[in-house]
Structure 1
Amino acid sequence: MKNKRYEQSIQRVCNYIYEHLDETLTVEQLSDVAHFSKYHFHRQFSNSVGVNVFKFIQLLRLKRASYQLVFHQDTRITDIALSAGYDSHESFSRAFKRSFGLSPTEFRRTPMWSDWHTNYQFKPTRGQITMEAEIIAFPELKIAVFEHRGPHEKLNESVSQFIAWRKETGLSPVTHSRSFGLAYDDPSVVEPEKFRFDLCGEVREEIPANSYGIVNKTIPGGRCVKIRHYGSHDDMDETVYYLYRNWLAENNETPRDFPCFFEYLNFFPEVPEHELITDVYLPLN
């Protein structure tokens, strides 16, 4: 019970940081949120998360900035710098390059997501697993698919191409077309070059051949267990593993011969990372 209370305290601090990422945060504030002594807070946070609290805050702001650079091309770099807490384009550029090896301008032009992932190596306590799983009848669904094949770290490069196609066709996510991901492989197990993940958008009719390589597929109808994941997509494995590790055995169910898939109900950086909502579906026999 003591360890659980300790984890909840760290979780509370992480959530507070997410909710106040645009504000000035102090050790006094954050130690109060955790109910820790300010004299020990730094070490306690670092031991749990893997980086000190101010590095954690900086990386969260730079992560949001990196997504804004790539996916919000119309936003000025100066405005992104200000929203990340920097008082000038120059200071932001120095911090960004120090962390990710490229200047903001270079990253916007040619995102190096694999290098970005290498530098973003810490595992904060984030996201929240709801154990309220339900069995539903999922209807057959036509989807347009961009097939990502290769290292998981390069998935965002495929996302950029899929977004470009959706903008060109008017099939924007959420407002006009639901968004899904089909997870064929576990990136922690499969060789990087063999990792497979389908980026999907709902369509009413089959799409014609196109220069983006988008293809037609179908999510088959049938029984699925559905569980809602709150928080960062980086923590989705915790929710997925719960279904495989606990839920199947506890409910005497077996998975169908179709991959686990996700429906993305909102998107980062349009909403803060801790407010992301994703429905996880595991097809059942």
Structure 2
Amino acid sequence: MSAAAAENYLARFRKVFDYIDAHLDGDLSVESLSAVAAFSKYHFHRQFSELFGVGVARYVQLCRLKRASYQLAFRDHQQIMDIALDSGYEGPEAFARAFKKSVGQTPSDFRKQPQWAPWYATYQSLSELRAEHMKTTYRADQVSITDVQETRVAVLEHHGDPLQLGDSIRQFIAWRKQNGLPPRISATFNILYNNPEEVAPEDYRLDLCAATDADIAANPYGIFAKTIPAGRCAVFRHTGSDDHLGSILSYLYSEWLPQSGEELRDFPLYLQRVRFFPDVPEQEAVLDIFIPLK
């Protein structure tokens, strides 16, 4: 098979991945997905499992349960019954059995206190599969340079194991609700101090930030004020899953930056989350990546 033919073959499956992300509430049978890829329904399930190492039905189930886990952990206004129905189950009992089999907790227990280590063990393979087979080629014209204004933010500093970041996010969401600062009126930022793959878990740092000019009163959440400074930044807009964040950063630092002639400013890389999964399909999530420049 030529390289062009192989790429065309994979592109048809990437179209299927995007379709699944966008239609988690809909018909994701082998028949419907094979039609998206324009493959025979009699062979599609074998093509999928041989190429990706997981059956198409299991892949769909994992995607639906991943969204459900985000809804349970971070969207407490959504009822478990509604989440079950949106995940393709006829009722909460079948949903609870499938969810517990995947992550080791019932949906109600996960909502109360998620156990993130088994959750990551389940979904890491899904993230790796997507990162490997949904690769994108990045270009210099996708990077713009702009002057950003100073932004005052309320910050929750996460220190420690990245597997426990979900607990910090839950705590931060609770503070935002209490203070009337939802994402629709308060821009959401993450400041990234290091790479979780290159530091010991106890040394990992990330700031969860919400833009606000208000004074931050003493609070039990440990949230306080910081400033994202004004200055020049290289900006890359990414639409899609966070599974691609590593490859984008690799491109920016290993290819774009050396070729740009730019020098880095002494402030960490940061992100602005514009549209959020699970509120939008994962392939429609939007984040802007900011690299501070001199």
Write the mapping of 1:99-248 to structure 2, written as runs, cut at 5 A.
Answer: 99-120=102-123, 121-122=125-126, 123-124=129-130, 125-126=133-134, 131=139, 132-173=142-183, 175-248=184-257
Secondary structure at 1:265 match in 2 = strand
Secondary structure at 1:253 match in 2 = coil
C-alpha distance in structure 2 between counterparts of 1:153 and 1:140, whole Å: 31
Relative to the length of structure 2, the TM-score reads 0.90
Letter in 1 for 2:154: A
Deviates more, 1:256-265 or 1:70-79: 70-79
C-alpha distance in structure 2 between counterparts of 1:237 and 1:108, whole Å: 28
Deviates more, 1:250-259 or 1:109-118: 250-259
C-alpha distance in structure 2 between counterparts of 1:128 and 1:169, whole Å: 39
The match for 2:95 is 92
- The answer on 1:250 being equivalent to 2:259 is yes
CA drift of 1:141 comes to 1.1
- Alignment identity in percent? 46
Q: Judging changes above 3 Å, is the alpha-carbon distance between structure 1 residues 284 and 255 closer, same or farther for their aligned structure 2 residues?
A: same
C-alpha distance in structure 2 between counterparts of 1:24 and 1:33, whole Å: 12
Quick one: which of 31, 54, 63 aligns to 2:66? 63
Aligned-residue CA RMSD (Å): 1.8
The answer for unaligned runs of 5 or more in structure 2 is none
C-alpha distance in structure 2 between counterparts of 1:171 and 1:16, whole Å: 33
Secondary structure at 1:32 match in 2 = helix
Quick one: which of 67, 71, 76 aligns to 1:73? 76
Relative to the length of structure 1, the TM-score reads 0.93
C-alpha distance in structure 1 between counterparts of 2:262 and 2:10, whole Å: 31
Letter in 1 for 2:231: G
Number of corresponding residues: 284
The match for 1:269 is 278
Deviates more, 1:40-49 or 1:132-141: 40-49
